[in-house]
């Protein structure tokens, strides 16, 4: 078993109202990815494999990091479809979708709860299917040779923490909301099981000149 480092993509389109319009990095998102790649080279981070989801924001982040490795794309590493489920929540239960990005912190936990309780008929996949595909993808990556770098999304990282820390869905929502763009998270094999040994690390954004780049959305 080799350690796995998960990376959340750079800042995407913060004013998006649907999945398609969200799926692109902002100018700041591109800069965050470059800074992360520079930091990893400067500090001699060693990874022999690179994986991404199939979303544009994953590919753009990996490209901006310029690791020199060819990425293996895997749709199982894609994000949950928040906007699609928010629309279903409004249509099926009368809970309004976001009017402003600032409302996300209150709205996202509601979406997750209805989804976990299997009360969103319009969800593109069931909660347990999302959980299973992540578990399966990470199991396969973990069985490979050498440290792996995985560029993905915050919801997937939060579910990974849920799986390995036994989090309830409310705690998973809190974890997801805390995850910053281009943050690093690491799973390390300890005693035959995966243990989270790093969460939400952003050393490449800690300089005072870069604190404006410490974004959650």
Model pLDDT for residues 153-206, shown as the tens digit of each residue: 999 999 999 999 999 999 999 999 999 999 999 999 998 889 999 999 999 999
pTM summary value: 0.95
Per-residue HEC secondary structure of 98-109 comes to CCCHHHHHHHHH
pLDDT averaged over every residue in the chain? 95
CA separation for the pair 52, 59 (Å, rounded): 7
The candidate with the shortest Cα–Cα distance to 200, out of 217, 213, 188, 216, is: 216
- Per-residue model confidence as pLDDT tens digits over 61-76: 999 999 999 999 999 9
Quick one: pLDDT at residue 192? 83
Q: Where are the alpha helices (DSSP H) in the chain?
A: 19-22, 27-42, 56-65, 82-93, 104-116, 127-142, 154-165, 169-178
- Both tokens of residue 109? 């936990």
- Map tokens 């629309």 to a residue: 87
CA separation for the pair 86, 88 (Å, rounded): 5
In the chain, what are the domains? 4-77+126-213 (3.40.50.1240)
User: How many C-beta neighbours within 10 Å does residue 147 have?
Assistant: 16
Quick one: pLDDT at residue 1? 59
């Amino acid at each position: 078993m080799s350690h796995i480092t998960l990376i959340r993509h750079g800042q995407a389109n913060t004013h998006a109202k649907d999945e398609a319009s969200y799926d692109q990095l902002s100018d700041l998102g591109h800069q965050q990815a470059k800074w992360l790649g520079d930091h990893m080279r400067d500090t001699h981070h060693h990874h022999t494999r690179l994986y991404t989801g199939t979303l544009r924001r994953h590919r753009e982040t990996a490209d901006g990091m310029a690791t020199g490795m060819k990425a293996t794309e895997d749709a199982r590493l894609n994000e949950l479809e928040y906007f699609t489920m928010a629309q279903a929540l409004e249509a099926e239960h009368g809970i309004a979708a976001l009017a402003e990005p600032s409302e996300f912190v209150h709205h996202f936990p509601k979406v997750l709860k209805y989804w976990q309780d299997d009360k969103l008929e319009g969800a593109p996949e069931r909660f347990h299917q999302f959980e299973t595909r992540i578990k399966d993808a990470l199991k396969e990556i973990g069985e490979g040779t050498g440290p792996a770098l995985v560029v993905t999304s915050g919801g997937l990282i939060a579910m990974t923490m849920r799986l390995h820390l036994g989090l309830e869905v409310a705690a998973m929502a809190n974890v997801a909301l805390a995850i910053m763009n281009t943050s690093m998270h690491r799973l390390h094999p300890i005693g035959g099981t995966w243990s989270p040994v790093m969460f939400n690390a952003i050393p490449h954004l800690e300089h005072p000149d870069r604190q404006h780049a410490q974004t959650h959305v």
